[in-house]
Structure 1
């Protein structure tokens, strides 16, 4: 484990130290238990003989008193009996058995000597008061069983063993034997040394942990000061240098952001104002990103770098954050004095796939290239780095689409939808087209694959809605459909546009909303609620490309769909493929029951038209009747 790793992750070392301390604590507990177990074993061995001798002695005394009705009185008044019992107690004394005596308790409950087997110089006299030092002495009268009383001393265990002598189920006398058990000094010393060693080690580790925590806090404080830009309070380049090896670039998109014409701000208003602008820009970026997910760095001068966390297969959320940064800065008034405010713009370069680069620096270079392109195209732009596409399979790049929107090269072609009953125009569908700089017409199949899941997709939907709104205003008798994707249905800005259109007379009732059939319609939170809201505003709802993928008939009834457009890939095969015919037939039957009208797409021949007419499909769309054109006929 490297020093850098330990310093960056002090919790690992603290946890390791705590684990050692806990292990030693368990060992200490085990040692104490071992000591007690060892003492118990010593006690069991040492007391086994004493218990046996005491039992025999009590049986002898009991047999001597077998004809007596008052044990205490008979012993006091019968010298011969007294001497025999005294002799019996005397022979019990050994090196370890210090005292053997017979006690009784008088009518007041006071313990008194009856016979003492000790030598004459230590002997207690008859009726001498005996002071008990443990409540266990009283247990013998209730339990009527022998009692062992331990009194641990420094080098030995002092033990009193009490045996009841019972007459008519009452404890009349107590045979008490005091003896001691010597501790085995060597073992005791070893155990004590182990205990003290463990306690000392635990104490040292605790001191180490406390010192390490203090040092870590100091280190983090110092590092934080080293890693944070003092002016803007975001990370600085030192942070990147220290952390770049620990950042998994596949979890982020990499953004390079530069303040436009910052030198002019400094030259015009002074460096103090420039510093104020830098602080406000940094605060704005910090406000727009997600705490604990995204990383913001002041890379130098007026340039910032952001790592915005993303899902590896879907950049939508990350790009939403990026767009929020961009638009917030565009809309914000930046304060330069108590009364003056100025507008500030930024140029942004984006590397959507930094994880594909070998190093962080390589990944940053690609974002920097995109930033350079944004500046060259007039600043106040977002440019996304993308490699050249395969020339044999041309697709537009994200930047191509964004440029087309900004340069008003987005347009719509219009194709009629025919009422099968009279073969007359019912309404039109608006079909997205982009006019390339060389005049070529680019169709959606070359556009949507590269912008799916990005904010560019949302922006192009807004542009198409704006075009269709203009056409409806110019042609009050035309009915027109526009395509939306499931993400548009949950986007607040697009919903706001549609709500505003609905406030105008004769717009919502002539604008049909075609939503591509997919599982996303069901899965997106609020999509059903929003679709019902749009329907209540007067819009007609179409499910486009129905039957091509995920089909949920129940959902169609829940959102009160007005039209189903059967996917053209099925309609094209309806003549020769029985399965396609049965699929179309089942969709039509369901639609009739649910009171939903059906549109057949890709009706390209008279034979197909006749087949769908047999199935009583209400509407047709295809080259048989009309090719998409720049304007209405």
Structure 2
């Protein structure tokens, strides 16, 4: 009866599980302490001679450099000096001393080899990049004292001993000695015993966990396991995918919330801080909404969906809740460290009547249009979607379909200037639709409405055809055309580009511009297709780089030819330090990767001069040319 009582009440099992976990923790703690004590004693006995030799070696190198005022430069340029130091380092190598080498840190903070005593294929060359994986490599520049880095392995201890070589109270070089010390046999025996003990305890814990799962399964909802975002502890996209058909949208208002300039937060403070901001944003949203009524979902990187219960069907209470979310975020001091905080703003798009849409996706698209409009008006706003808004700011899907059928889709062209010559390099073809009244409609009023639909593909096909015809009839013309990630993996569009690419005189004059996003990185066939287009002669341009998702490694994998830095960053480069640093870092990477850079939104001479100072090769913007019809171009 007692056993039955315990198995029926999960609290006892949880307490027992915690007790066993505590026992295992104490055992592991005691074992670790013992191993550290033995390792420490072994180190004390075994490495004293190596440390003494290393100290003498650093003094000898310092003596060789006694007449030098620039250690790095003199060692690089003086072959005899370099050879002497290298020979000296080589002599240090023994069965236990595996490597001895001199490194320095360049002006960008990157560690590089200067002299390597290693023989054979493992020998590093001068200026070869050296990746450090321990903070002690950086600490040595502050403490100016030798550092010992221990890497415990199963049968031996791998040790790196770092000795600073100082000139005028400044660490100029680091002498690094890598050696190993065999562990005493007792440690291996202890580790073996620990393995058996831990295996037994793990078996017990697993048995308890299985019992807990069986007893508590009826109390745990699936949405709290597979459907909860591990970072923010709100629902994730899996939950939405599974539940959207069961949510009665008539009972809610739907809001799409996006963190403003989140990319800049990641670039300025790092992804760890970015994750911390996401957690705090989610906490603020959860505290401002009602736990039992409202639904909070992390939809994508920095985008959240909020479904707010509308009990009285008058929108007042849900909008009050949303306003509370918005104002609480504005007032909240987001902690990025133990001592620092920053302010964060959000843009919110609201669909007050999602129940009128046929599907959840349609309802979300309207909230997303409102969100896009909020961003377009300067961010840090709540924008409510309405039919009037759509009439004023966006084309309808039917209007876009009619424009395609009636041949009212066209392109305007904007010059891209070579900064070295101040002359035309090529043009970008920009989508335009001519309304029935004759007015020109720009992409920001077109693309949000058709995002992800077959109409978007038809627009792309039409623009490609226009560009192809212009290139055929103008042999001295070079153009860029914009594609979205879905276009790159679409078989029909790829087939069109392959057909055009049969004529090298076309493909070499037609550049493909793509906005980099998580979508294109995650699409299985995107990279393959881009490399196919490269082989056909097309040049690849990554558009709006720096505005959102940025993957430097992916740029090299697809052999990108050009990066176009987002205009919203360029236009703030003179007064915003973060924008300047973002541009500078992109340019620095591009030069290392041999990728050319284009600055967008160059609107005046001062911005133009600044980007030229940074070494950007090409410019595009109203300072040079306002987009216009092909017939009006002066070439």
TM-score by length of 2: 0.40
TM-score by length of 1: 0.40
Q: Whose Rg is larger?
A: 1
